[in-house]
Amino acid sequence: MACNIAVFGTGYLGATHAACMAELGHQVVGVDVDAAKVEKLSRGEAPFFEPGLDDLLKSNLDAGRLRFTSSYEEAAEFADAHFIGVATPQKRGEFGADLSFVDTVVCTLAPMLRRPAVILGKSTVPVGTAARLSAMVAELAPSDSIIEVAWNPEFLREGFAVQDTLTPDRIVLGVHAQSAGRAEALTREIYAKAIADGVPLVVTDRETAELVKTAANAFLATKISFINAMAELCEAAGADVSELADAIGYDARIGRRFLNAGIGFGGGCLPKDIRAFMARAGELGANQALTFLREVDSINMRRRTKMMETVRDIVGGSLIGTRVAVLGAAFKPDSDDIRDSPALNIAGQIQLQGASVSVYDPKAIENSRRLFPTLDYARDINDACDNADVTLVLTEWDDFKNLLPEDLDSVVRQRRIIDGRNCLDPAVWRSAGWIYRGVGRK
Ligand code: UGA
């Protein structure tokens, strides 16, 4: 049965969620205070790059199942389910999450709710947030309205957001023990297709649901830092981390996915989520439980410094006056997201050490230019590599993975390549006369 749904926040999470809910046949209104975003989305254009999303927006706008607005009143009057998909960034100068966007949505919406409704949080929040918001809603909503607050964390990956939302590997719902059961019934209606297709639905309390999300991201971050720590050992011992990852990955308990050594994790989620998790554990008096995440964080940040050292080393000790080509600026391929991007961070540091840096990325140039206006941005791979003393592959876009030495032989000044994502074949580059360096590789 079609449900009436509102989605607050139209960033990577909210816009995708709104479009996918409409694709499932629901009537959806996406709400954002940013009028420019609303206007763009209403034309069927996502304000960021996400494969397949523009098509999904257009077809659902045309079908009349999806619309975007800045009006909270409109959403409050219309929807049975209110999804919160706004950002929860790291607080300035602190590890904790900034919940002001989430709080603002709830404070603005609650007084307008004059019909029974369920607020379903999707944003990644510290454990205890749903209970706190529930108390806020009880105070702010009209006294006769029945409003439940439940948590339904999101596990989508950028670059695969549409697929992950339409066919998730699990759906988690945290409900209040004394809830009237409306939250679960509505969630079952909303995700009826996925549930019928066999996707597990885990119904639990709100605290567990909130923790599931942060625990999942903490585990993924730990897995990446583990393999990057192994890369450090491989470098010290003259071993190869990619072969090591393949070999340990055959053990189904370990698994090969998310075991790619490189310049580490970035983006708007993993780095800030592990920090917010540590901060929350401290508030709960359980900080010891998560001290290992400090190490996860520092192994990760060390990859960026190590990459700088490798670049300096390969050009003979000093970057002053060298030309460095940087291929990749996004924090991962198939995304234009540059939040806490290791690639862009490294590009910036290299420039500060006196090199002239030319950056190319298939989708993230515009965003990068806004954040680092002083870097040079190239039109394409050849433009970036023109007369380069060293070429760095820092985001594993297909265009870079498929590069061959002969594509660049006559473009660069020095045939030196550093593979920050271990995505190239060292033998191919070395046999063509290039100096190749990877991460944790001989
Ligand atoms: C991450 C989680 O994977 C999602 O499940 C979660 O929903 C999302 O955060 C979120 O909390 O919203 P995402 O930030 O899109 O998704 O990116 P990932 O695919 O997790 O990659 C994160 C970073 O780790 C990237 O910089 C990537 O290059 C790096 N990475 C990933 C590695 O260095 N090695 C790997 O083996 C895998």
Ligand 1 center–CA 265 separation, angstroms: 7
Q: Is 261 annotated as a binding residue?
A: yes
The set of residues, in sequence order, having a beta carbon less than 8 Å from that of 178 and lying 6+ positions away, is none
Ligand 1 centre distance from Cα of residue 9 (Å): 21
Q: Is the CB of 270 under 6 A from ligand 1?
A: yes
Contacts of 402 (CB under 8 A, 6+ apart): none
Is there an atom of ligand 1 within 6 Å of 264 CB? yes
Identify the pLDDT of residue 92.
93
Non-local CB neighbours of 208 within 8 Å, separated by 6+ positions = 174
**Which pTM does this prediction carry?**
0.97
Can you tell me the distance from the alpha carbon of 366 to that of 359, in angstroms, rounded to the nearest whole number?
11
In this predicted structure, the answer to whether residue 236 has a pLDDT above a threshold of 90 is: yes
What are the domain boundaries of the chain? Answer: 4-199, 230-437
Mean pLDDT of the chain: 97
Q: The tokens of 401 are what?
A: 């993975």
Res 12 pLDDT > 90: yes
| Ligand 1 pocket residue status of 344, Cβ below 6 Å | no
59-90 pLDDT, tens digit per residue, is 999 999 999 999 999 999 999 999 999 999 99
Pocket test for ligand 1, best of 17, 20, 84, 158 (most atoms within 8 A of CB): 158
Residue of the CA atom closest to atom 35 of ligand 1:
258
Confidence grade of residue 145 (pLDDT, cut at 50, 70, 90): confident
Whether the pLDDT of residue 179 is over 80: the answer is: no
CA–CA separation, 377 vs 354, rounded Å?
17
Fold equal for 4-199 and 230-437: yes
Residue in 205, 185, 183 with CA at minimum distance from that of residue 195: 185
Atom 5, ligand 1: residue with shortest CA distance: 155
Q: Which class for 123: exposed (0-12), middle (13-18), buried (19 or more C-beta within 10 A)?
A: buried
If pLDDT is split at 50, 70 and 90, which confidence band does 442 have? confident
CATH architecture of 4-199: 3-Layer(aba) Sandwich (3.40)
| CATH number, span 230-437 | 3.40.50.720
Q: Identify which of 9, 27, 136, 42 has the alpha carbon closest to the alpha carbon of residue 77.
A: 27
To the question of whether residue 157 is assigned a binding role by annotation, the answer is yes
| CA-157 nearest atom, ligand 1 | 15
Residue 67: Cβ within 10 Å count: 19
Q: Whose CA is nearest to atom 18 of ligand 1?
A: 157
Q: Is 259 annotated as a binding residue?
A: yes
Q: How far is the CA of 361 from the centre of ligand 1 (A)?
A: 18
Q: Does residue 222's CB lie within 6 angstroms of at least one atom of ligand 1?
A: no
The tens digit of pLDDT for each residue in 120-140 reads: 999 999 999 999 999 999 999
Is 53:19 a contact under the CB 8 Å cutoff? yes
Classify burial at 324, counting beta carbons within 10 Å of its beta carbon; exposed 0-12, middle 13-18, buried 19 or more.
buried
Extract the tokens encoding 2: 């079609």
Q: CA 173, 177, 182: angle at the middle one, nearest 5?
A: 60
> What's the 270 CA to ligand 1 centre distance in angstroms?
7
By annotation, the residues acting in catalysis are 269
Place of tokens 């491989």: 234
Residue 342: pLDDT above 80? yes
- Radius of gyration in angstroms for the set of CA atoms belonging to the chain, rounded to a whole number: 23
* Predicted pLDDT of residue 398: 98
Taking each helix axis as running N to C, give the angle between helix 206-237 and helix 270-283, from 0 to 180 degrees, rounded to the nearest 10.
120
Per-residue pLDDT at 22: 98
Q: What angle do CA 347, 352, 353 make, to 5 degrees?
A: 100
- C-alpha–C-alpha distance, residues 401 and 295, integer Å: 30
Rounded CA gap, 194 and 107, in Å?
A: 32
Half-sphere exposure of residue 8: CA atoms within 13 angstroms, side-chain side: 30
Residue 262 in contact with ligand 1 by CB distance below 6 A? yes
> Measured from the CA of 332, which atom of ligand 1 is nearest?
28
Please name the residue whose Cα sits nearest to atom 1 of ligand 1.
157
Between CA 181 and CA 150 the distance in angstroms is 10
Q: Whole-angstrom Cα distance, residue 309 to residue 315? A: 10
Give yes or no for residue 228 CB within 6 A of ligand 1.
no
Centre of ligand 1 to C-alpha 228, Å, is 15
Q: Is the CB of 224 under 6 A from ligand 1?
A: yes
* Alpha-carbon span 355 to 387, nearest angstrom: 13
User: Which pLDDT score, from 0 to 100, does residue 411 have?
Assistant: 98
How does pLDDT run across 355-385, given as a tens digit for each residue?
999 999 999 999 999 999 999 999 999 999 9
261 CB under 6 A from ligand 1? Answer: no
